[in-house]
Structure 1
Amino acid sequence: MVAPQISVIIPTYNRQELTVRAIKSVLSQTFSDLECIVVDDGSTDQTAEKLAKEFGESIQLIRQANKGVSRARNRGIAIAQGRYLAFLDSDDEWLPRKLEKQIAFMAAHPEFRICQTTEIWFRKGKRVNLPEMYKKKGGRIFDRSLACCMITPSSVLLEQSLLHEMGNFDETMLVCEDYDLWLRVTSRHPVGLIEEDLLIRYGGAPDQLSGQHSQDRFRIRALQKWLNVNEKGRPDWRLAFKALEEKCRIYGSGCLKRGKEEEGERILAIPGEMR
């Protein structure tokens, strides 16, 4: 069997209808040389059964015990056959020409091993404008990626070999696993940008992980990881350390104000320990 050019990986947990919408947006792509891998992360609402019945052999459905979105994505990566990987969160949706446009971009720009598109945001059912800090950029974006996550997983197309070199999603991160991965990638590689809205992101749902955990706490952890494995004194190391100092100051001070003195003092001490 000839391997597909693109492996699409969709993790899901208790999102029957949303996942159906996401899968339909994959199967309706104008670019069809793909496989669609759906990893059910231990759903308890019959999500897997519904997907198996509705899509049959059009998808590869993998079931696992509930281990989190990073484990689910990594399971998909482990069996992916495509040269390229594309991720789609189960509550997001692609426009029909997304993969066609990205494959053409990568062919025309061999200097890039990863590209993303711009996107449309909906929050609680209403279309909203992206805040300036979240607007997508291309090229060398490591400095921009320090404050917040500048790459949306659902917007990405990347060479599978890039993850073999950079490492997969960190399964110990409850949130900001994408921020952690993109720090590693953007510190080494430029990111291509297609300035066309080819992704629809839906936010504001109560089950979104980003709203259930403090993101700054995990961004601090991701920055610590990156700083620990990169050479001190490099310009990008200094930039990352400055970002760490700022996040520790804000999060640590917030902990103290909320009466979490032990956690606050621990966070505030991190930059001094890493100098």
Structure 2
Amino acid sequence: MSGPLVSVVVCTNRGGPYLDEALRSVGAQTYDAVECVLVDDGVPDPAALAGLLAPFPDVRVVRTETSGISAARNRGLAEARGELVAFLDDDDRWDPRRLELQVPALAADPALVAGYCGLRTIDADGIVLVEADQVPVASRVDVARGRGGMLLPNLLLRRSAVESVGSFSTRFRTAEDLDLVLRLSALGGFGFVPDALVDYRHHGQNTTARYRQLAASIRAVVRDQERAALQAGDEPLVAALRERDAANDRFAAWSAARSVRAALRARDVGRALGDIGWAARFAPRAPLLWLRQRVRRRP
């Protein structure tokens, strides 16, 4: 081994058409101290999954009953032997240099609880839709505001730090990575490697496509943290979390508007009205927030 062992945890409840590419991207890493743990979270056809995994004999498979993504990730974390851990979704892929570049940046500074890198968005065919736009963060307040662009796919985590904050909360079916990042930010800093080393795949089956559930989970996570910050008397952190809450309202309204347009193109008036009604209830202040943001951006 040329450095600390990295445990790569892959959780899947489907196998899917992209799993082969995801695992090949782990095998192609130019950093050699790597183990891969795959958590089979109740895949309906274990034989089909076994066929997909046949070319990867070094992948250690752990089968569980369907338990949800947070519990599956916690199981993978419990099975991991590495000092550092990265979570790879079964439809994403890595640049071969990812760990070679990220591990030294994290290992060199014990004050860091995690590191993150540039992340691009690709489509089902691997075509780049959005280039990486992540930036470094200077403080916990920056993390609370969402300035860095951290998502679980582009994080490399110090396992001891994750375990010390209680790992992934099973309260949340989505936004569990945001909850973890905000809790970790109380312990230390986040190192940054600007290279685009992770490709996040956007397609019709992504969890993030379920925008109502995602927006509700983000609100719950942020407001949990806001209550804790209020109790601690941390006014800058409270203000940052309120900014994040307002940004989530804008996201909810934007996502609803996008869904309305799609419904109208499909001539599904009922769905469009449902989206409008949900947005009006969930984020009634979003239009005003959007207007204020536009005014502030004017020269």
> Which of 183-192 and 7-16 deviates more?
183-192
The aligned counterpart of 2:194 is: 195
TM-score by length of 1: 0.81
Instruction: Give, in whole Å, the separation in 1 of the partners of 2:282 and 2:59.
Output: 49
Matches within 5 A, 1:72-91: 72-91=72-91
**2:137–2:147: 8 Å Cα contact kept in structure 1?**
no
Q: Which amino acid aligns with 1:206?
A: G
Q: Which amino acid aligns with 2:128?
A: R
Residues 53-101 of structure 1 deviation map (CA, whole Å, 9 limit, x = unaligned): 3323x01111112222211111101111111111111111111121111
Single out whichever of 219-228 and 43-52 deviates more from structure 2. 43-52
| 1:271 equivalent in structure 2 | none
Q: The residue matched to 1:191 in structure 2 has which SS?
A: strand
2:223 alignment counterpart: 224
Distance verdict in 2 for CA 1:236–1:61, change over 3 Å: same
Are the equivalent residues in 1 in contact too, given 2:114–2:158 (CA < 8 A)?
A: yes
| Partner-residue secondary structure (3-state), 2:145 | coil
TM-score normalised per structure 2: 0.75
Q: Structure 2: which amino acid aligns with 1:97?
A: R
Question: CA, structure 1 residues 18+216, in 2 after alignment: closer, same or farther (shift >3 Å)?
Answer: same
TM superposition shift of 1:177: 1.0
Counterparts of 2:122 and 2:73 in 1: how far apart (Å)? 24
The answer for the alignment partner of 2:136 in structure 1 is 137
- Corresponding residue number in structure 2 for 1:63: 63
Structure-1 separation of matches of 2:56 and 2:183: 35
Alignment of 1:105-184 (within 5 A): 105-125=105-125, 126-130=127-131, 135-140=134-139, 142-146=141-145, 150-184=149-183
Amino acid at match of 1:91: D
Distance 1:45 1:208, change over 3 A: farther
Aligned to 2:41: 41
Give the structure 2 partner of residue 273 of structure 1. none
Corresponding residue number in structure 1 for 2:295: none
Contact (CA 8 Å) 2:13, 2:43: kept in 1 or not?
yes
Pair 1:233–1:267, CA change in 2 (3 A): farther
The 1:257/1:53 distance shift into structure 2, 3 A limit, reads closer
State the alpha-carbon separation in 1 of the partners of residues 84 and 69 from structure 2: 20
Shift of 1:256: 10
Distance 2:76 2:243 in 1: 35
| 1:239 aligned residue | 240
Residue from 187, 210, 213 that aligns with 1:212: 210
**Do the aligned partners of 1:175 and 1:213 also contact (CA within 8 Å) in 2?**
no
SS class of match (2:82):
coil
RMSD after superposition? 3.1
Change (3 A) 1:63 1:257: closer
> Which blocks of at least 5 consecutive residues in structure 2 are unaligned?
257-272, 286-299
Change (3 A) 1:95 1:245: closer
CA 1:246 to 1:54, structure 2 compared with 1: closer, same or farther past 3 Å? closer
* 2:264 equivalent to 1:264: no
Shift of 1:200: 1.6
Distance 1:91 1:5, change over 3 A: same
Q: Secondary structure at the match of 2:36?
A: strand
- The structural deviation recorded for 1:242 is 4.5
- Distance apart, 1:144 and its partner CA: 4.9
Letter in 1 for 2:174: V
Point out the more displaced range, 241-250 or 192-201.
241-250
2-structure distance, mates of 1:114, 1:178 = 13
What is the CA–CA distance in structure 2 between the aligned matches of 1:90 and 1:16, rounded to whole Å? 8
Query: What secondary structure sits across from 2:224 in the alignment?
Result: helix
Alpha-carbon distance, 1:5 to partner? 1.3
Structure 1: 5+ residue stretches without partners: 269-275
Q: In structure 2, give the amino acid aligned to 1:82.
A: G
**CA-to-partner distance for each residue in 1:220-241, whole Å, 9 max, x for gaps?**
1001221233335312123213
Code of the aligned partner of 1:176 = A
Shift of 1:247: 4.4
User: Between Structure 1 and Structure 2, how many residues are aligned?
Assistant: 260
Deviation for aligned residue 1:265: 7.9
